[in-house]
Structure 1
Amino acid sequence: MTIILFIAVLFFLILVHELGHFVTAKWAKMQVDEFAIGFPPRLFSIKKGETEYSINLIPIGGYVKIMGENGSDEPNNADHSRSFGMRPKIHQAIVLLAGVTMNVLVAWLIFFAVAMIGTPTAVSETDYNTEKAFLTITNTVPNSPADEAGIPSGARVVGVQTEEGSLNTLTPTSFTNFVEDADGPVTIQYTHKGDLGSATIEPRAGVIESEPEREVVGVATALVENKKLGPIDAFISATQRTVNSFWAITVGLSSFLASAFTLSADIEEVTGPIGIAGMVGDAAEFGFVTLMVFTAFISLNLAVINLLPIPALDGGRLLFVIAEAIIRRPINPEWMARVNLAGFALLILLMVAVTYNDLLRLF
């Protein structure tokens, strides 16, 4: 299920990104030869008009092939006026930035919708609405009694009992004290994804490394309330969240790349497709809203990555357009094609490296 969710999220984000390129290229009267989701080998394709629409096997990207975009792919019988390089520079820039713009817009729309629907938010024990806030399991310690009993992260606690009595106030502090004071097994009743569950657990010591003497069941809890905003506040919140997240991702990625140039980067800081797939599954465990928020963050990450000034990425291609506008003549198309190919090879190498790192984490 996690893999299916990951592919669905990635397919959606790649689709909207490439749609941005496709729609603006058509608007700019460029000839679009192919609209593809995924990288070859090809699984399915259909041609309508001048454009071939294809689904490819490797679902980690996509592309819109525009005549002349790579500098040396124009057939002899083509209408060269519709070539990428023959259109105005401002149109070229708009086409190249359209994919990133779509990813940012999708993130903003998700943040806006989530703010209107309601976002699960941790609230203080000293100031909360007893009818709206619920004790929620935010994390389960691996190999702890709770983990072994199958209590999932994201579960909402609805009851806690021992042979001596029941917990009346469901807050993180009262839950922790109740468990530690128990002389025997603790029964935790919870709901998760609409289903009611129950587990009887024996607290034990040695679960928390920093406090090995404490007897616990191995869960982290918080009071969570679903907070909704009105349209105006949701608009402001979505805008702030999009800008702040985009900037934070940019700063973080820039810092990593700077350390890479000084050979001090830690590759373990980077997560590849396998790691992200696991995160999608974890987000889904907390519900639809959490999954959508995580999707928004992935969309913003794709936007920032595509803006990097690396050949084969939108940012690298945009640099060529800016350079041509400055020097007022086209760059040698064969040289540009070779540089783009080298950039693509670099991206594939990086993808292999981070995927290998993901596999090391698993095994």
Structure 2
Amino acid sequence: MSIILFLIILIVLILVHEFGHFIVAKKSGIRVDEFGIGFPPRIKGWKKGETTYTLNWIPFGGFVKIAGEDVTDEELSVMSAKERDRNFALKPAAIKAAVIVAGVAFNFLLAWVLFSVGYMTGLPVPVDESGAEEGLRDVALVITGVQEGAAAEEAGLNPGDKILSLVADDGRGVPDLTTDAVREFIATRPGATLTLTYEREGETASATLSPRESAELERAVIGITMDRIGTLEASPLEAIGRGFIMTARVTGATVSGLYSLVKNALTGEGSFADVSGPVGIVRIVGDAARFGFAYLIGLTAVISVNLAVLNLLPFPALDGGRLLFLLIEKLKGSPIKPAIANTANMIGFYALIILMLVVTYHDVVKLFR
């Protein structure tokens, strides 16, 4: 189920991204030869006007074929005046930039829409991020993560479980279910038998487990992270404002995280364990699904922002790389030869594929640790 949800999210995000390129190219008078859902081989195609709309077998997103995007010098030399007028390569730099940025812009826009819809329908937020507990409904102490191999995992606890009570074998319990109170209760009872009652998908259940000493944390733990979470439901106008603010926050956090990742990689402090590829994201999607549909909306918005920020990196084959080429052309006063640009983009594409394979390999290794 997690894989299916991940594929649906991936397809939606990439199609939205490609639709951004498509619609701005069309509005700019550039010929679009094909808009594809999935990747070839082709299942079926429909031609409307000058564009062929295709459905393809490999369901990992989509693509847009824009006239002149990968044109050669020879092809340009034999074009008619009409073809040259509709060609991306021969458009002014401002129009080229608009077409390139459109995909990223649509991903940011989608994130804003999703966050706004989430706030309108009720988006789960940590109590400390909401500004106050007033106005929140269904406030509960929720397990947000479960450590592999820890007592909590062995007891069958999952992210998304709401903690209802925690009682020790001496009959004492946690009177106030806050993060600090539960953590302190567990820390002072290494080896004790605890009964944790929780709610999952509307059903109540209990788990028996014993805290274990953690040398790293210097206290007893059961291997969970938790947070007090409530549902924030806003009016449409407020939701739109909150959606914009959340999109900006996630963008800032993504840029900051990416900067730290690159910095650590350059200084030798980085690790592939810090990065999640498709396999890791499938697992994250599965955890979000356990929390509920609202979490899935929020996660989709976060991934959309991540996709937008990554695409803006000045690396060949990415939108940021194409923008960099435009800037170089502007500074040097002449266009980069198509053969050079195409070669750079091809090398960049294969480099990204290799990087994705390496990250995926480490994702799989982490699953079996």
Class of the TM-score when normalised by the shorter of the 2 chains: 0.7 to 0.9
**2:30 paired with 1:26:** no
2:243 to 227, 238, 246: 238
State the one-letter code of the partner of 1:281: G
2:288 to 279, 283, 286: 283
Contact 2:289 2:295 in 1 (8 A): yes
Secondary structure of the equivalent of 2:160?
A: coil
Q: Mark the runs of 5 or more structure 1 residues left unpaired by the alignment.
A: none
Aligned counterparts of 1:325 and 1:316: Cα–Cα separation in 2: 14
Q: Quote the residue 1:299 is aligned against.
A: 304
**2:139 paired with 1:133:** yes
Aligned counterparts of 1:217 and 1:257: Cα–Cα separation in 2: 33
Aligned counterparts of 1:106 and 1:304: Cα–Cα separation in 2: 13
How far apart are 1:162 and its partner, in Å? 8.2
Q: Quote the residue 2:276 is aligned against.
A: 271
Contact 1:68 1:74 in 2 (8 A): no
Q: Quote the residue 1:51 is aligned against.
A: 51
Aligned counterparts of 1:264 and 1:322: Cα–Cα separation in 2: 32
How far apart are 1:153 and its partner, in Å? 1.9
* Residues 246 and 211 (structure 1), Cα distance of their counterparts in 2 relative to 1, 3 Å cut: closer
Among all aligned residue pairs of Structure 1 and Structure 2, give the percentage whose two residues are the same amino acid: 38
Secondary structure of the equivalent of 1:136?
A: strand
Alignment of 1:175-194 (within 5 A): 188-194=196-202
* Residues 273 and 35 (structure 1), Cα distance of their counterparts in 2 relative to 1, 3 Å cut: same
Secondary structure of the equivalent of 1:224?
A: strand
TM-score in terms of structure 2 length: 0.82
Aligned counterparts of 2:157 and 2:259: Cα–Cα separation in 1: 39
State the one-letter code of the partner of 1:135: L
**2:163 paired with 1:121:** no
How far apart are 1:100 and its partner, in Å? 0.1
Q: Quote the residue 1:204 is aligned against.
A: 210
Aligned counterparts of 1:309 and 1:146: Cα–Cα separation in 2: 43
* Residues 321 and 217 (structure 1), Cα distance of their counterparts in 2 relative to 1, 3 Å cut: closer
2:98 to 83, 94, 101: 94
2:328 to 314, 323, 332: 323
Secondary structure of the equivalent of 2:33?
A: strand
Aligned counterparts of 1:326 and 1:213: Cα–Cα separation in 2: 59
* Residues 207 and 147 (structure 1), Cα distance of their counterparts in 2 relative to 1, 3 Å cut: farther
Q: Mark the runs of 5 or more structure 2 residues left unpaired by the alignment.
A: none
State the one-letter code of the partner of 1:272: G
Deviations 1:145-183 (A, max 9, x none): 5433323221224466789879695614666788878x9
User: After the TM superposition, which of the residue ranges 93-102 and 337-346 deviates more from structure 2?
Assistant: 337-346
Secondary structure of the equivalent of 2:212?
A: coil
Contact 2:137 2:232 in 1 (8 A): no
Aligned counterparts of 1:205 and 1:262: Cα–Cα separation in 2: 37
Contact 1:134 1:170 in 2 (8 A): no
Aligned counterparts of 2:183 and 2:274: Cα–Cα separation in 1: 33
Aligned counterparts of 1:91 and 1:211: Cα–Cα separation in 2: 55
CA RMSD of aligned residues (A): 3.5
How far apart are 1:283 and its partner, in Å? 1.6
* Residues 174 and 247 (structure 1), Cα distance of their counterparts in 2 relative to 1, 3 Å cut: closer
User: After the TM superposition, which of the residue ranges 351-360 and 170-179 deviates more from structure 2?
Assistant: 170-179
State the one-letter code of the partner of 2:22: F
Aligned counterparts of 1:233 and 1:188: Cα–Cα separation in 2: 38
